[in-house]
Structure 1
């Protein structure tokens, strides 16, 4: 093949599909799992702190460090194998070892994560779990006996998965040691990689379920505020039909509510979007298990349908409600703004009519003043003309009064004509 330039990200993008392999586990074995989330959102999250925290754990066991900027790690620490993954909002640690202790779900297994190391974690625990992986008993009745002993029957979810390759169970309850419990009874023919995929999916179901419930908590905190804004918005929309109410004041109140709704939407948009993504992942992981019902018990999909799905529908309803309220306030603001514009146009029209009337009065006044000006100018002009005609009294035999009277009419006409021409030239 002739040489060709590769895209600089070609190998990185291709290797990303193989970057997070499933762990290999043989029954019997045990696993511990923890997910840690920094208290702030992912936008401002310091990912270097997560990597430094992992490096500190590896240094305690003399294990090799991950590559700079790595988002996943798989290696051995002591007798345990550690799988570390960095996600958008959280990091997960899974440690597993061959064999099981004499006590199923022994909290001492969590000692792989030292207490002081956990205390120094750059975040808070979102969830943690103990997983017990054992060979499947020969009889289903033995499985049922163990499940009744280890879990709360009322909330127990159990099913056969991956074409009866294993029986998985969990009650999604936090035990007295602060951990959830899951059990995997693997068939003798189930290989290590398939067991690892089952364990990984159980951990992912629990983690994504917990992360998506953050959206439900956000909705519960938002509900009182949304109810208050909805009441105010409804009252303002009712006031829009009252002609006695001030349109401008109502518009100001509507704009204030719109600003509050937009602020709530901006503050919640990331959480609502993340909740939808996590919900989809939970459903996908459960679907990937290919569940079959075990002895008439509820399986994971049914458990989520009864307990988890209503919470997610509440989140979706709150998100739609917030969007609808924002749209409603914007429409109401636009309508009220139109009303204000119409009222202002009417006021401007009245103002223009008033200005026209004032202009007409001013014109009339000007014409009145113009008449008075003609009289005043004519008076002085006649006086001047009289002085010019006084020498003619002897030659004409006319008196001064007669000459003044004869000159008055032409002078007045001349002044009136000049003033009219001057006004026309100005206009």
Structure 2
């Protein structure tokens, strides 16, 4: 064994820890696995949880955290850190745990089995009273092999879920109905189950009730958006029929404007539910993991929590997925219709441009012919007047000319015509330049 060098703090041949540095995510990653510790629980006890839907905006969760820290300071409790995930404290009667999630906060407290106070003071319930309650659960844990018949009488037989868990060392029961205080009631009978496993089981059931509720939050949005998407699909169908019969660019532009308006509304529908549907699927996945972890054993007379929730939550999540698929499909169809109409308008414009160019070409040809005719007539007219002037000039020198005036004009006529034509061409070329 290597000896430590005296006064160095580390062994010979060992590098100092100060020579290295940690990645910025090392501490958060390490703390994540310890963020939500599960307390050991000993039967008998009563656990209650209330879930507040705070919202996913950072300022809303920050406000909730400030309220909790202010309350702790008021009652003389050391409050949570600013970036807390779980915060626990104890009073004379209750063991209390707060947990912060992405968009909701849970308040859980453990009390004696005979505690009848549904909303006690001293646990911090008043901190989030301005936020709505989305779920509430109550779990009674007794030390028995089976849940007592008197406890089972309080459940609705048609929705009673009863099964054994923990390798047969515990029995759980619920009907997912709310009691007179608005709490979903669970019963757990533990027999030779350790306090650690009891704490895990209670925690799993609380999470199951929380996540099955959060998974179903998106169902109402799915129903509303399904109706909206249906209306938009009908509008698109009618516009597509008009596209097939459009006969003018003005009609095409009118339909294109309507398609763009439809595209905006379809995009708003998708944006309005994108987070909610994604969150519902994530909560559904977490719910399924929690259900798998409790490892229920099917009884002959009653269904299990896993089967009961699967028969109800799975169709709801399928509805959310189907609605989102319809939203995305609608947006794609509108985009294709816009592209089709854009292509139709471009073809019509190109056709009009060809007709205009053809008309311009015909006009240019006519103008060219007219110009050529005018040039010819101008040449003749100029030559005529030029020969007339030459006739007067030659008449003055008739006695000195070798030929008669008429013969001289006849000889000069071709030259005058050529000179007139070349003169007109020179003027035209100068104007072109």
Both structures adopt the same fold (TM-score exceeding 0.5) = yes
**1:206 equivalenced with 2:209 (yes/no):** yes
Name 2:144's counterpart in structure 1: 136
Deviations 1:304-325 (A, max 9, x none): 1222211111111111111111
Deviates more, 1:397-406 or 1:317-326: 397-406
Name 2:316's counterpart in structure 1: 311
Q: Is the 8 A contact 1:58 1:77 kept in 2?
A: no
- Please report how far the alpha carbon of residue 63 of structure 1 lies from its aligned counterpart in structure 2 after TM superposition: 1.8
Aligned-partner Cα distance in 1 for 2:124–2:199:
27
Name the SS for the 1:172 alignment partner: strand
**1:233 equivalenced with 2:233 (yes/no):** no
Name 2:31's counterpart in structure 1: 15
Q: Is the 8 A contact 2:284 2:317 kept in 1?
A: yes
- Please report how far the alpha carbon of residue 35 of structure 1 lies from its aligned counterpart in structure 2 after TM superposition: 0.9
Q: List runs of 5+ in structure 1 lacking aligned partners.
A: none
The TM-score normalised by the length of structure 2 is 0.87
Aligned-partner Cα distance in 2 for 1:56–1:208:
29
1:52 alignment partner, one of 38, 53, 66: 66
CA-based RMSD: 2.6
- Please report how far the alpha carbon of residue 396 of structure 1 lies from its aligned counterpart in structure 2 after TM superposition: 2.4
**1:263 equivalenced with 2:268 (yes/no):** yes
5 Å-filtered alignment, 1:390-409, equals 390-396=395-401, 407-409=412-414
Name the SS for the 1:42 alignment partner: coil
Name 1:92's counterpart in structure 2: 106
Name 1:338's counterpart in structure 2: 343
Name 2:375's counterpart in structure 1: 370
Name 1:111's counterpart in structure 2: 120
- Please report how far the alpha carbon of residue 387 of structure 1 lies from its aligned counterpart in structure 2 after TM superposition: 5.4
Name 2:282's counterpart in structure 1: 277
- Please report how far the alpha carbon of residue 168 of structure 1 lies from its aligned counterpart in structure 2 after TM superposition: 1.7
Q: List runs of 5+ in structure 2 lacking aligned partners.
A: 1-13
1:69 alignment partner, one of 83, 86, 109: 83
Q: Is the 8 A contact 1:386 1:407 kept in 2?
A: no
Name the SS for the 1:348 alignment partner: helix
1:123 alignment partner, one of 131, 146, 156: 131
- Please report how far the alpha carbon of residue 273 of structure 1 lies from its aligned counterpart in structure 2 after TM superposition: 0.8
Q: Is the 8 A contact 1:50 1:122 kept in 2?
A: no
Name 1:192's counterpart in structure 2: 195
The TM-score normalised by the length of structure 1 is 0.88
Aligned-partner Cα distance in 2 for 1:214–1:26:
33
Name 1:159's counterpart in structure 2: 163
Name 1:79's counterpart in structure 2: 93
Q: How many pairs does the alignment contain?
A: 414
**1:360 equivalenced with 2:376 (yes/no):** no
Name the SS for the 2:245 alignment partner: coil
**1:350 equivalenced with 2:363 (yes/no):** no
- Please report how far the alpha carbon of residue 20 of structure 1 lies from its aligned counterpart in structure 2 after TM superposition: 1.2
